[in-house]
Amino acid sequence: MYDAIILAGGENSEELSKYTPHCYEALIDIAGKPMVTFVAEALAASRHVERIFVLGPVAELAGCDFPPGTEILMSGPTIIDTIRIGMRGIGHSRPVLVATADIPLLTAEAVNDFLIQCGRTEADLYYPIVPKEVNERRFPGNKRTYVRLREGVYTGGNLFLVNPAIVDQCALVAERFIAERKHPLVLCRMLGWSFVIRFLLGALGLKDVEQRVSELLGVRGAVVKSPYAELGIDVDKPSDLELVRATFSLRA
């Protein structure tokens, strides 16, 4: 079993603020509920998740209807600071599942599959990717940031399994990676110019990326290929919000 933390302290972008009165992205209304509650419900429904901690604006989050036992903590000034607070709140050294609050289409099945795959290899940091064909089959026309690798074309997911012991040593580099996660070329420059050239030629493989990230962070990294497009559908622009709201309206 794993404990989980949800990062819910991010403020709305200027674009999204035109579509919602809420200051925080996690509180955007989806089908009559704050977006973050759907993430918490998916985690709670997973047979592999035990405790759930939501980190963000405590007063605002206190009004959300979270699954029983969910704990709310104040977030920090940065994503890494917030993860540190969450790890301290959890209070153990076992791997912790980290989720963003902006993936309301997340399902328990997607969480289960990710954690089962993580259990098949030893690493300090696990990161999911979703094949482009999986995303386009599930959500036709949805625009995502894709990276072409030797094995195929992928978009990133929004779940991470993290060894708490690596958080402090990886903090500075990890914050840069997080800030540039939507810009593949910038990430490649951080990884080295040889990576830029091989990236442009489509010659990078998944194992190449794993090895270089592991070297850069000083940890063991593992990429997990997920068959669930829901992991990559984060609400960070109006078209994403429209997609998610339309998806929930079809379920009603």
Neighbours of 227 (CB within 10 A): 13
Q: Reduced to 3 states, what is the DSSP secondary structure of residue 159?
A: strand
Q: Is the pLDDT of residue 172 over 90?
A: no
Least confident of 10-19, 54-63, 216-225, 230-239: 10-19
Burial of 1 (0-12, 13-18, 19+ CB in 10 A): exposed
- 183 or 58, which is more confident: 58
The percentage of the chain sitting over the pLDDT mark of 90, rounded to a whole number, equals 54
Name the residue among 111, 140, 131 with its Cα closest to residue 243.
140
| Average pLDDT over all residues of the chain | 88
Collapse the DSSP code of 131 into the 3-class scheme (helix H, G, I; strand E, B; otherwise coil) and give the result: strand
Angle value at C-alpha 30, between 26 and 34, nearest 5 degrees: 40
104 pLDDT more than 90: yes
Output the pLDDT for position 193: 66
DSSP 175: H
Residue 170 has pLDDT above 80, yes or no: no
Alpha-carbon torsion angle 110, 202, 190, 98, nearest 10 = 0
112-141: pLDDT as tens digits = 999 999 999 999 999 999 999 999 999 988
pLDDT tens for residues 235-250?
988 888 898 898 888 7
Closest CA to 247 of 31, 15, 24: 31
For residues 112 and 56, the answer to whether their CB atoms sit within 8 Å is: no
Contacts of 104 (CB under 8 A, 6+ apart): 30, 35, 36, 38, 39, 235, 244, 248
pLDDT band for position 177 (50/70/90)?
Answer: low
Bridge partners of 159, per DSSP, are: 99
Residue 97 to residue 83: CA distance in whole angstroms: 10
Report pLDDT digits (tens) over 44-82.
999 999 999 999 999 999 999 999 999 999 999 988 899
Residues whose CB falls within 8 Å of the CB of residue 148, separated by 6 or more in sequence, listed in order = 199, 202
Assigned CATH for 2-251: 3.90.550.10
- Domain range list for the chain: 2-251
What is the pTM for the complete model shown?
A: 0.89
Chain Cα centroid distance, residue 89: 20
128, amino acid identity: P
Given a cut of 90, whether residue 189 has pLDDT beyond it is no
